[in-house]
Structure 1
Amino acid sequence: MKSASIFVAIAATLLVMSGCAGNNFENNAADSTSNVQTADVKLAPAANKEEDKLPERQFIRTSDMKFRVRDVTNATNQIEHIVRQNQGFVTYTNLKSTVENQQIIQKSLDSSLESIQYAVTNEITLRIPNAKLDSTLYAISSLVDFWDYRIIKADDVALQIKANQQAQSRALNSTQNIHQNIDRKKSNLNQANDAVSIAENQQEAADNAALNNISLKDQVTYSTVSLSIYQRTETRFWSIASPDAQNVKAGIGIRVWDSIKTGWYFAEDLFVGIIRLWFVILLIVACYLIYRKYFRKKVLAMWK
């Protein structure tokens, strides 16, 4: 009886200890679950906020303009001066004259008149700091005589830059992982070569993404302006020697006109020659007047 009572007491003690341990385990598990849920509740909004956060806007601004000016050469010089004042630079310029009509008209036996009708144009490409684009366009507008068109565009490339950064990061991580696995595959030459080829492709993708971002950031920093300027059509005249004057016989009208001009030139030369003898003419006139006043009557009397 005494041994039976001892056994019952030990069994009861073990049951009480098992119950307490179970309660403690359940409480600890519940607390752990509660902590995990609380952590999830706290971290999830932060993660969502980080994903939903948009990058700062970055605009590529471009302008395309065509207009008429009074003088293309002077306008080009002024535009280049405006660009230098705004810390920009000219990347392309093509100033040229296009002949629309050309004629050579013979005016005399040995000379002709050349007339050329032409138009002067210039195609210019400028790079301007983004912050100074508006002031540059305002200064260029003062040269405009007539607008054909004026286009200004702004493209936000912030998401594209972000995508390139993520693509570059993924490619670099993939390249690093592949290089770590190459050593394990050295025993299999084919697998090692394939891994190296994949690593090179991933590195090339990372480099391309980096170069794309460099190009985009350059376009964001410096805006591109394309100008097409022109002026009114002009006509110029030149007197030139007839190249085949000795072998060409002029028409009757030209020969008559040449004769009239030759006679007129002779009359001009004669008049100028007479003017050069003004002293002799004056002396003859003076002698005639003296003769008429003092000697004419005596001479007439002698003859009678």
Structure 2
Amino acid sequence: MKTSTFIAMMAIALFAACKGRNGGYEVVNNDSSTSADTANGSSITDSIAEAKPKLVKTADISFKVKNVQQTGDSISRLTAKLSGMVMHHQMGTSIQRSEDMRLSNDSVLRVSAFNTTADMTVKVPSEKLEDFMNHVSHMGIYVISSKMDIEDKSLDYLSAKLKLKNRLEMVAQQKTGKIKIKNPEAVLWLKDDMIDGQINNQKIDQAVSFSVVSLNFYQSNTIYKETIANDDPSAYKMPFGNRLLMALSNGWYLFIDLIIGLANLWVLLLAGIGLWMAFKVYKRKYPVINV
């Protein structure tokens, strides 16, 4: 049996198992033969044996340093020296506790204890990963944890490569009319899957060539002293003597305001005096007689 026939049957089985974006690919094979070609199976076995290992290395390290900012700069320089790249760098500071000590009415000494940490993600050539980890571990006071993992992507890479080869052959046979695909959109989906497979293999190649290292480091709490303005309004009160003089002055002004207020009521005072005098006259003319 021809090899092309076997490839066609393999493609049919592949599409039925994987399912396309619209529920599956519908394929019609013009060749009526159904037996498998063992030669093609042996070629796949040979490809597996000859495949180059695709080892993806990742690492992470956590350690304590004397100065976070200086260590971050040193790691960046080391990464560039090894032809790597810094993918992520974040440094942050958090105040652990703070205390204010009064120096005068308008100034305060603030003493703060703050913690500084940093996170970095770098890519370095895989063959230089161990050198990078050794250099970084010597930058710290001590290493809290260090880990390196190796994942073998060889079979995933080979699987995508063989699938791509089969799909390329199927597209070629579809163009020549040996294989007919009922749904025209399935051809586009097939080509998209081929592109996805190529992109995934390129990602694996990049992961094999460059290892990703995650770093976390911190330093001891730092004490910082600063003199700042007192933000408590109650601390800005006048001295006792000044406040007493101001109170006496305010009392005098209140007394004057009272006199002025009474002066404004002179009409009422005259009316009251008139009523009181009329009452006295009335009592004289009509004295009360006790029986």
Q: CA RMSD in A?
A: 3.0
The structure carrying a bigger helix percent of its residues is 1
- Cα separation, partners in 2 of 1:86 and 1:250, compared to 1, 3 Å: farther
Tell me which residue corresponds to 1:302.
none
- Cα separation, partners in 2 of 1:180 and 1:103, compared to 1, 3 Å: farther
- Say whether 1:85 aligns with 2:81: yes
- Cα separation, partners in 2 of 1:240 and 1:148, compared to 1, 3 Å: same
Q: Which amino acid aligns with 2:166?
A: R
Tell me which residue corresponds to 1:209.
197
Tell me which residue corresponds to 2:221.
233
Cα offset for 1:56? 2.2
Supply the distance in 2 between the matched residues of 1:88 and 1:47 (Cα, whole angstroms). 38
Supply the distance in 2 between the matched residues of 1:149 and 1:160 (Cα, whole angstroms). 30
Supply the distance in 1 between the matched residues of 2:188 and 2:164 (Cα, whole angstroms). 13
Cα offset for 1:175? 2.6
Cα offset for 1:113? 1.0
Task: Please give the TM-score of this superposition, normalised by the length of structure 2.
Answer: 0.62
Supply the distance in 2 between the matched residues of 1:131 and 1:223 (Cα, whole angstroms). 9
- Say whether 1:197 aligns with 2:193: no
- Cα separation, partners in 2 of 1:205 and 1:52, compared to 1, 3 Å: closer
Moved over 6 A (4+): none
Q: How does 1:274-285 map to 2 (within 5 A)?
A: none
Supply the distance in 1 between the matched residues of 2:94 and 2:168 (Cα, whole angstroms). 54
Supply the distance in 2 between the matched residues of 1:148 and 1:209 (Cα, whole angstroms). 39
Tell me which residue corresponds to 1:94.
90
Contact 1:171 1:205 in 2 (8 A): no
Cα offset for 1:80? 1.0
Match of 1:134 among 101, 125, 130: 130
- Cα separation, partners in 2 of 1:218 and 1:72, compared to 1, 3 Å: same
Contact 2:96 2:115 in 1 (8 A): yes
Q: How does 1:28-107 map to 2 (within 5 A)?
A: 50=46, 53-107=49-103
Task: Please give the TM-score of this superposition, normalised by the length of structure 1.
Answer: 0.60
Tell me which residue corresponds to 2:236.
248
Q: Which runs of 5+ in 2 are unaligned?
A: 1-38, 241-291
**% identical aligned pairs:** 17
Q: Which amino acid aligns with 1:53?
A: A
Q: Once the two structures are superposed, what CA deviation does each residue of 1:166-198 show, in whole Å capped at 9, x if it has no partner?
A: 11112222233334449x98xxxxxx8x53211
Cα offset for 1:84? 1.4
Q: How does 1:121-160 map to 2 (within 5 A)?
A: 121-160=117-156
